[in-house]
Amino acid sequence: MLALGKLLELTLTDHEPAEKTQVTSRGVRLRWLGEGALEVRPPEGEDCGLDLLLSAGIHGNETAPIELLERLLHGVASGTLIPRARVLFLFGNPAAIRKGERFVEQDINRLFNGRHALSSGFEALRAAELEQFARVFFATPGRQRLHYDLHTAIRGSKIEQFALYPFKEGRLHSREQLARLAAAGIEAVLLQSKSSITFSAFTYEQLDAEAFTLELGKARPFGQNAPVNLDRLEQRLIQLIEHTETEAAQSLENLKLFRVAREVIKHSDNFRLHLPPDIENFSPLPQGYLLADDIAQTRWVVDEQDARIIFPNPKVRNGLRAGILVVPDAGQQLG
């Protein structure tokens, strides 16, 4: 197997390969772009016209997606997986991956769409670098652009595998892309309704890619991800890379759709989230429930029907989102 196919090993050892470009016996070109970044090009004349960005490790302790990308790369480097798509593999936060921690100084996934320019430190520089990797990769006009940013969650979830679909004014969410996610084992999708500062929001809003944040179970250390079954997603990614995907069904009957009702923002150190520390994502909340309170008599009371909570985290920095209230969506605004 080609040495560049061992991107995780290179990343974990903080090693820069001497040979930056390698070609498999099948004519697949691997090119090391920088720490945690590897571009794969199909054999000459076999390019299907898809640019596929696969990122993982934006949070360093979310290892199941990192292991998934490593398996795909091993397949490419060993010649058992022959790409017809251009693929960019990105391990988002190498320093945090090496530490086995969510981040080193601050959450990278709150530093995109220009937010890094308002900050400083290692993660801010890395967010700018990741944006540039994506910008260059998606620079060729007339090609399909698809980005999956793969994560696992801090906590358990009543819906284990779900996606967040970014928002851009004047652009409809794609029924075809949702059907593709359903075929990959994604059980629910949150249709966002405002601009965001995550990596997938950057590629969706600024680079016109179809882009998703995929949440794939609970965060666990390397080698302990057996409870997370990513077989369907892995098979779908292989089909995308090899361009062997059959026509995706248009039915979304088994896919649960949600939309954001409200975001709960932490304004100060006085913020209190009135939820059990082990509450799972997508847990239902009754109407009238006092969800949180903060300074100046700021209160969040649940008044929506069928409301559920995702990403509750009272430990975020002041000014950031400490949870999202979501409600079911009928999917009437799909393209």
Using only C-alpha atoms, the chain has a radius of gyration, in whole angstroms, of 20
Residue type, 119: S
**Could you say which DSSP state residue 73 is in?**
H
What are the CA-CA distances from residue 158 to residues 216, 279, 282 (Å)?
A: 12, 10, 6
- Helix H or strand E segment including 115: none
β partners of residue 259: 191, 327
Angle in degrees, 0-180, between the axes of helices 231-242 and 175-183, rounded to the nearest 10: 120
Asked whether residue 62 is marked as a ligand-binding residue, the answer is yes
Is 46 one of the annotated active-site residues of the chain?
no
Which is catalytic among the residues 39, 160, 210, 215?
215
Asked whether residue 267 is marked as a ligand-binding residue, the answer is no
Conformational region of residue 83, where left means phi above 0, alpha means psi within -120 to 50, and beta covers everything else: beta
Query: Following CA atoms 128, 132, 133, 134 in sequence, which dihedral angle do they give, to the nearest 10 degrees?
Result: 100
The structure tokens listed for 89 are: 């593999």
Cβ-proximal residues to 226 (8 Å cutoff; 6+ apart), any chain: none
CA-CA distance, 335 to 331, in Å (whole number)? 10
Asked whether residue 59 is marked as a ligand-binding residue, the answer is yes
**Could you say which DSSP state residue 334 is in?**
B
What are the CA-CA distances from residue 220 to residues 62, 109, 251, 331 (Å)?
A: 6, 19, 33, 33
The full DSSP string for 251-300 is: --TT-EEEEEEEEEE--STT-EE-S-TTPPBTEE--TT-EEEE-STT-EE
Residue type, 55: S
Please state the length of the chain. Answer: 335
Which active-site residues does the annotation give?
A: 215
Binding residues for Zn(2+): 59, 62, 151
